[in-house]
Amino acid sequence: MSYLFTSESVSEGHPDKVADQISDALIDNFLAFDPESKVACETLVTTGQVVLAGEVKSKTYLDVQKIAREVINKIGYTKSEYMFDGNSCGVFSAIHEQSPDINQGVERKKKEDQGAGDQGMMFGYATNETENYMPLALQISHMLLKELAVLRREGKEINYLRPDAKSQVTIEYDDDNTPIRIDAIVVSTQHDDFDTEAKMLKKIKEDVINILIPRVKKQLPKNIQALFNDKIKYHVNPTGIFVIGGPHGDTGLTGRKIIVDTYGGKGAHGGGAFSGKDPSKVDRSAAYATRHIAKNLVAAGLCDEVLVQVAYAIGVAQPMGIFIDTYGTSKVKLTDGQIAKKVEKLFDMRPYAIETRFKLRTPIYSETAAYGHMGRTCETVEKQFTDGSGKVKKIKVKLFPWEELDYVAKVKKTFNL
């Protein structure tokens, strides 16, 4: 019997995502001037106020207020009527030095013996239902909001949009777990004042269906375009007026959108957030590494879908173990446990090995903080940073390196595919 599965996304202007982007901008700036920085930075945003808190061990000095304001302005909170804007909001910093008790468990004389920055389990997931090996409902949810942000910045076809927005997509699957149609799409977007609520609801719904949806659909491959149909249930701003939004409408905190950041509810999640953490925190680095494993296993043809789990003890380099679940889609005559043993030998999952494999001590994190950490495009870009003394530094970095399919040949050889 067919079934429905739903995933959601939130825009860069959502208060929790504003907090994530500020935290990751701080990470990038610390790493740009001191790659050995140890950082765990949380951000809270509310009406007219930003609070920065956390632990840092670094040789560099940053103007954290300036960095926070730049992020807020870039997102689009630039008007006083939003009750939260980058030029006038207060920025309070309560960042202090990292605990030496934690640091002693992480640093070692031999970098290869670097311990995990915390205990916990991390998961990676991949499926062949999309070209980027991500769950379809989440991919479309992200695309809706990315394109909505493009329309907002263009200010031509739709000129009343404000930065805060959410989306949700429900897909119908058949008995073989194949997507057969889109059942429902939800879009809630912050907007300027309208003359009447009825006029507002009519205009926004028309623009979402006639402008946003076609632009998103055009970016998708033909087989996914075919899932769009005239029976889709559209819920556009279903609660009505959405003028008050962003940090003025809801307080935002770093790390509250971990399912949006990963797989939209598919697979599993270990519970640890990513943003605001340097790569010695395995919550972040090992989640990227398990995604890399999962994606390369599916791309190599080992299985159609896979979940990869790794677990660590704080201060210990070697993981507790690796777990594999192919959901019965494996193409080799091995149990999932036997597959896991081979994967364990193929991928070095010690924290320092993960850091070096993906060059995680480079400033690559701001781009991850909105529209998902997984399923993104791996590309090399040049970024510019300014420290607290005004020193400017330009750095070439590779974004989303865990999305590379650089282990496909090794997987095929290991499993005789």
Binding site feature residues? 14, 16, 42, 55, 98, 164-166, 250, 256-257, 273, 277, 281
Please identify which residue in the block is written with the tokens 């106020």: 49
**Cα(3)–Cα(64) distance, integer angstroms:** 48
Show binding-site residues for K(+): 42
Give, to the nearest 10 degrees, the angle between helix 64-75 and helix 15-33. Answer: 130
**Beta carbons within 8 Å of 263's beta carbon, 6+ residues apart:** 125, 134, 135, 138, 269, 374
Show binding-site residues for Mg(2+): 16
Show binding-site residues for ATP: 14, 164-166, 250, 256-257, 273, 277
Secondary structure of the chain in HEC code, one letter for each residue: CCEEEEEEEECCCCHHHHHHHHHHHHHHHHHHHCCCCEEEEEEEEECCEEEEEEEEECCCCCCHHHHHHHHHHHHCCCCHHHCCCCCCCEEEEEEEECCHHHHHHHCCCCHHHCCECCCEEEEEEEECCCCCCCCHHHHHHHHHHHHHHHHHHHCCCCCCEEEEEEEEEEEEECCCCCEEEEEEEEEEEEECCCCCHHHHHHHHHHHHHHHHHHHHHHCCCHHHHCCCCCCCEEEECCCCCCCCCHHHHCCEECCCCHHHHCCCCCCCCCCCCCCCECCCCHHHHHHHHHHHHHHHHHHCCCCCEEEEEEEECECCCCCCEEEEECCCCCCCCCCHHHHHHHHHHHCCCCHHHHHHHHCCCCCCCHHHCCCCCCCCCCEEEEEEEECCCCCEEEEEEEECHHHCCCCHHHHHHHHCC
Do residues 9 and 187 lie in contact, with contact meaning Cβ atoms separated by under 8 Å?
A: no
Do residues 58 and 37 lie in contact, with contact meaning Cβ atoms separated by under 8 Å?
A: yes
Show binding-site residues for L-methionine: 55, 98, 250, 281
